[in-house]
Amino acid sequence: MTPILPGATIGFLGGGQLGRMTAFAARSMGYDIQVLDPDAACAARAVASRTITAPFDDIAAAVELAKSCDVVTLEIEQIHPDVLDAVAEHTALRPGRAPVYIIQDRIRQKEWLHAQGFPLGAFVAAASAADVEAAVREHGACIAKSTHGGYDGRGQVRLREPEQAADAWEALGGRTCLVEKMVSIDYEISVMVARRPGGEMAVYPPSRNHHTSGILTWAVIPAVIAPEMSEKAQSLASAITERIGIVGLLAVECFVTTEGELLVNELAPRPHNTYHHSERGLATSQFEQLVRAVCDLPLGSTEVHAPSAIVNLLGEVWLQHEPPHTTHALQVPGSRLHLYGKAGARGGRKMGHLSAVGESAQQALGRVLESYRRLSPETIASFDVHEPVLARSTN
């Protein structure tokens, strides 16, 4: 296979912050960037030489992108399969249709993982409110998730009692949904894997992640977990990557239960919020790694040079009475501010993140949370953003 060398053009289906950060990395390496996104003011626009404004089911627009790009990748999995097929007819599409098709439907994804024998919590595909009710009767507390389009905890309803099934069914639009047993989580980790067209893979060390109401609050690397768990998670993620045959990146989100069991939560065929710290202390950022993988260049080292952490900045930071105290926040040693250039702060909208490096994971996390505290003391008070002691769990 011939590599796609600098000077070539990379196309992105999706121009959000993941596309923007990958585009920055690609630009640094000498590639040109084109983007397709429904929002004319998308975050990646500033980095692209051309932005096509069209919905993700617009085949003609996607073909236009494909025809002027040497390779097309994506930063969002909700792209209609017909669009993926149309792109693949005109240029290299990486990742390809097959893994994206499996991943983009939560039920299809869970059923595929189950059929391949990967470890999962209990789940049910519910086709009616009665199915949701039966699932809660059988499993106790559950989370119902819409099959498509849910992210950052959106499109999810938590249920404690079977009586809540009808409301949950309605809230999810009265459509077939995935119902998962609520897992008793000790901690959450993710593992990022990159894979080239010929099958060469690079596996990152796990990231330890904390969510508040289904949305990522902070992530830190190294994860400070038992080395055996780290290795187990890395081999699980590599096995999934190989089996699904993806080219590009695959993020594998995992739960470690209070019983010490490692379970797959979900997959993402693209850069992932939990690896934004890879831009700071790792030999190769996830964004550069995606460029290398889809251009069929040698993959970079996944070594952690400095423990690194990030905290997400949601729209709430800009909706407070006081504007954020940027100067004060950036006085924290090792900290950096990343903003995605999005106009219009809304509650829950990811506007940027803070990052920090440190001598230990604990110090990096402490620094980034201190930076956040200084940036927006009002916001931190209203969020569950505590700093845990990253002691090695027995699990």
Ligand X SMILES: Nc1ncnc2c1ncn2[C@@H]1O[C@H](COP(=O)(O)OP(=O)(O)O)[C@@H](O)[C@H]1O
Binding-site sequence positions for ATP? 106, 145, 150-156, 180-183, 188, 211, 265-266
CA-to-CA distance for 118 and 97, rounded, in angstroms?
21
> What x/- string results for residues 186 through 225 when contact with ligand X is judged by CB under 6 A?
--x----------------------x--x-----------
Check binding of 279 to ligand X (CB under 6 A).
Answer: no
User: Least separation, in Å, of the C-beta of 282 and ligand X?
Assistant: 22
Q: Which does 188 bind (CB under 5 to 8 A by kind): ligand X, Mg ion, none?
A: ligand X
- Asked whether the beta carbons of 76 and 293 are under 8 A apart, the reply is no
Check binding of 262 to ligand X (CB under 6 A).
Answer: no
Nearer to Mg ion among residue 32 and residue 253 (C-beta):
253
Check binding of 64 to ligand X (CB under 6 A).
Answer: no
Q: Which stretch binds ligand X (CB under 6 A): 89-97, 175-183, 288-296, 365-373?
A: 175-183
Binding-site members are 106, 145, 150-156, 180-183, 188, 211, 265-266
Check binding of 265 to ligand X (CB under 6 A).
Answer: yes
Check binding of 337 to ligand X (CB under 6 A).
Answer: no
Check binding of 151 to ligand X (CB under 6 A).
Answer: yes
**What's the number of CA atoms in the CB half-sphere (13 Å) around residue 223?**
29
User: Which residues contact Mg ion by CB under 5 A?
Assistant: 253
Contacts to ligand X by CB under 6 A:
121, 143, 145, 150-153, 180, 182-183, 185, 188, 211, 214, 253, 265-266
